[in-house]
Chains A and B, each alone.
Chain A
């Protein structure tokens, strides 16, 4: 018979959390200026801790990959490239002319990082097209996936059951937002789409936002009171 260790409440941490919550809530809700200096100090500590965590993360990545290189693990060459690049950029950003805003750092960002990030994000379009092709369909379960791709039948079943409604909404607003087609749509359709956005869609989104905020508040209270 396995025994699961029961988590014990750390009352010191719980006390710190409660004090911070009371300080911030007091400064925010009661607008007590005397607490502002304390809360400003807390926000600064948050920034410092986050910065230290970021540096720790970078250091950890370097250590992990350096160990791979020294141990000769599989794909150690990729790890060596990563470590060498990181060190080169760090050194040039630290001692180079202009520092982190110098020509070398700006070139690294503009010529390598920015295009790379944009390229990876651009792949999202193809994923969305594939998802739209496969799941925005009218009707129920289609057992045989077409188009040369496999997928979980259960997920496909649950996704296609609401596909008709999603397809209707997608088609309506695609027609509305396509400049070429927007010009030929009758005004009644444009007005109807605007009404859908202003009334039911907005009401739904407001409900989601309000519900999410209340849920978050209750979770925070539960965390403070129950400690888990």
Chain B
């Protein structure tokens, strides 16, 4: 009698785990019987004497180590005497009765879900040399499918993992067509280009005039002929769309006053931009045919490139001749009486004010982009800047003052051209307002949809 006191014949056999597809009404598979036949120690109530033989006599490959552990349980070890021994396992033989050498030895049997082992390496002894791969292939000659399987498995171990069947989710696209963002881009482009190209909706309204434009005009208008004006050219073609429109009236005015304009730039494309703009202004003035020979400005506008960024600006303040020496053909004989900053960014104007204006004390006027205006307003308020012409609005009012002046030679770019840009600015602002409204509408509808 076993220790539990239940007779062996009446001892309930432990139930094998039922597979998912099995039900209580289905007969159990015969694997349970096979498993307990192969590994009788799994059976409940097993005693050594029931095995019918000692462990040493068990012919099962990967059999039992006769040296059991301290608790008396047998230990299963892959006890192969010969590494290359092919297990003579009837279950591994194919229909022709040959054993597949790529199949590795099976250590445990009878457990559902185990994969078939595959031999992928050999156990080498020190005295043995590794066999060439062809030998392993040669041993499995005639069975390409299994070799291919082995090769795939080997590649699988060495390749980087790849996700298959996992497509990247496309970003969510709103079903509301009018909130589709490419449409919004198209709206902005149409409302901006339409007035410029097609001349939509001519507006008679003027842009607002911000403080600083009148002061800048007055300073330039008060220059005497041949006065030296130092220009800091701090924009390149990237921002020329706005700054060219703002710089042209100022340059026009300076040339009309016959000022001797010399400039420095810390941008590599600065001097080339300056030549382009000055050339356009001169051509426009000459084409207007309103200028006498005496009113032509004899001085060429020369702009030097100073590499080094803001670190190079102090030299323009302390030794302008040395800063311009390698560029200017005719150096100015006198010190500049006015500085003009042409900058797209507020930082460039600030650097000039910090490094140069504080040293020289020369009155400074800034022509900047509209985005730099708020940052430079404090400088205008404190007096470091005597005038501020910002963006297209400032250019419009500066040009309007120029056109309305007494000097007939000052007219160059007509105000009508600038008014066309005012019209485009109108529509662009309306487009931005529409974008803001649509964005908030999208947010409100989105929240409502989520509820």
Contacts and interface: CB of A to CB of B under 8 A. Distances in A.
Most buried by B among A43, A54, A171: A43
A209 B378 contact: yes
Most buried by A among B172, B309, B381: B172
Most buried by A among B174, B312, B359, B378: B378
Interface residues of B, number: 68
B439 A132 contact: yes
B173 A148 contact: yes
A120 B447 contact: no
A40 B322 contact: yes
Nearest to B240: A118
Secondary structure of the A contact surface, majority rule: helix
Interface stretch (B91-99, B109-117, B422-430): B422-430
Contacts of B381: 198, 202
Contacts of B442: 133, 146-147
Contacts of A50: 307-309, 311-312
Nearest to A184: B205
Given A114-B240, A117-B236, A147-B181, A171 B433 contact: yes
A43 B439 CA distance: 51
A149 B171 contact: yes
B374 A205 contact: yes
A144 B307 contact: no
A149 B446 CA distance: 14
Contact of A202 (B322, B377, B438, B446): B377
Contacts of B307: 47, 50-51, 53-54
B206 interface: yes
Nearest to A151: B171
A192 B443 CA distance: 29
A46 B145 CA distance: 73
Contact of A149 (B181, B237, B393): B181
B66 interface: no
Interface stretch (B129-137, B182-190, B249-257, B360-368): B182-190
Interface stretch (B70-78, B268-276, B331-339): B268-276
B426 A133 contact: no
Contact of B276 (A40, A114, A160, A209): A114
A139 interface: yes
Contact of B374 (A132, A149, A197): A197
A138 B203 CA distance: 32
B308 A126 contact: no
A150 interface: yes
A17 to B, nearest CB: 14
Interface string B38-67: 000000000000000000000000000000
Interface stretch (B4-12, B152-160, B223-231, B313-321): B313-321
Nearest to A148: B173
Interface in A94-126: 101, 106, 109-110, 113-115, 117-118, 120-122, 125-126
A108 to B, nearest CB: 10
Nearest to A53: B307
Contacts of A146: 172, 174, 176, 179, 442-443, 445-446
B207 interface: yes
B309 A144 contact: no
Nearest to A43: B315
Contacts of B208: 176-177, 179, 182, 190
B185 A129 contact: yes
A210 B444 CA distance: 41
A120 B238 contact: yes
Nearest to B427: A180
Given A121-B238, A178-B430, A43 B422 contact: no
Closest 7 CB pairs of A and B: A50-B308, A114-B237, A50-B307, A178-B429, A147-B181, A43-B315, A121-B238
13 contacts: A39-B318, A43-B318, A46-B312, A117-B238, A129-B435, A133-B181, A138-B443, A145-B171, A148-B174, A149-B171, A167-B440, A182-B205, A209-B350
Given A101-B275, A190-B208, 11 more contacts: A47-B315, A49-B308, A133-B435, A145-B172, A147-B442, A148-B173, A148-B182, A177-B208, A179-B205, A179-B425, A201-B374
